[in-house]
Amino acid sequence: MRIVFLGGAETVTGSKYLVETDSTRILIDCGLFQGYKWLRRRNWQPLPM
């Protein structure tokens, strides 16, 4: 099993967690980034997976 942290670093919003096994990928808690405009733009970026 592998857990990838995809957001929420240096901020309290936008946390996402990708849990992967050999056969399954699950994205958990796909929150939104809030605050500065440059940070909110990340809500529409493709996920890095």
Beta-carbon count within 10 A of 18 CB: 17
- Number of residues written out for the chain: 49
Ordered per-residue pLDDT tens for the chain, 49 residues: 999 988 777 776 778 889 999 999 999 986 788 888 998 898 888 877 6
Q: pLDDT at position 21, please?
A: 97
Whole-model pTM? 0.59
Q: What is the DSSP secondary-structure string of 1-49?
A: -EEEE-S-TTSSS---EEEE-SS-EEEE------SSHHHHGGGGSPP--
Q: pLDDT at position 16, please?
A: 83
Two structure tokens written together for 46: 């493709």
